[in-house]
Amino acid sequence: MERATTLAPRHPSGWTVEEYYQLLECGALGEDDHVELLGGAIVAGEPQSPKHATTISRLQRLLDRRLGDRAIVRAQRDCIAGHRSAPEPDLAIVPLVDDWYATAHPSRAHAVFEVAVASLLHDRLTKGPIYAGNGVPQYVLANLRDRCVENHARPDAQRGRYAVCTVLPRGDTLQLVEFPDVELAVDDLLARRVRV
């Protein structure tokens, strides 16, 4: 009963980032709990299909190779996005810092990537506005359901939305906004079909 009381937010607008991390410190949330803070709400993550996990692994390796020492590519790690959000994007390209964020999670990202099958609407309607509101220059949604990539750019932080959304089909390429010399093939961003 006391644990349920501890998990109730102190404010009607929900949890703050600071309170969220206090829940980890006091043991109300565990390091292995697959949750994230989105707009003041603690949201449970969905289990990953093999296709989802494979896409993240392949994309992380590709981005690491293309970016080298110009940035850090973090897979499924917290990013601070304002006072009431600490999303855990599938991949985030964040500025390179000496301690690799050993003392604090990054609050700025060059780009974030989400891989979506069942979470497509959630990634579009909940996470997209959070990333735009935090001024993330590029939000890339690898849409495995429709086999395309949705590229969001030019964030309008005041409105919490991206001014530009381009749908890129297979055969097309994606250019990183903050690293314009890096182009990625859409085919490489999507999980390849496995023939049985």
The domain locations on the chain are: 2-44, 50-189
Residues of the chain scoring pLDDT < 70: 1-12, 191-196
Please tell me the CATH superfamily of domain 50-189, with its number.
tt1808, chain A (3.90.1570.10)
Q: How far apart, in Å, do the first and last CA atoms of the chain sit? A: 49
Phi, psi for 97 (deg, rounded to 5) = -130, 155
- Helix/strand/coil for 138: strand
Nearest to 187 by CA among 49, 55, 48, 90: 55
Structure tokens at 60: 């992380």
Instruction: Give residue-wise pLDDT tens across range 155-191.
Output: 999 999 999 999 999 999 999 999 999 999 999 998 6
Helix residue ranges, H only, 41-95:
50-67
Give the pLDDT confidence score for residue 2 in this predicted structure.
Answer: 34
Interior CA angle at 65 toward 61 and 71, to 5°?
Answer: 95
Report the distance separating Cα 79 and Cα 92, nearest Å.
Answer: 8
Structure tokens at 15: 């949890």
Residue 138 is which amino acid?
Answer: Q
What HEC string does 2-41 produce?
HHHHHCCCCCCCCCCHHHHHHHHHCCCCCCCCCEEEECCE
* pTM, two decimal places: 0.90
Instruction: Give residue-wise pLDDT tens across range 31-44.
Output: 788 899 999 999 98
Give the pLDDT confidence score for residue 185 in this predicted structure.
Answer: 94
Give the pLDDT confidence score for residue 86 in this predicted structure.
Answer: 96
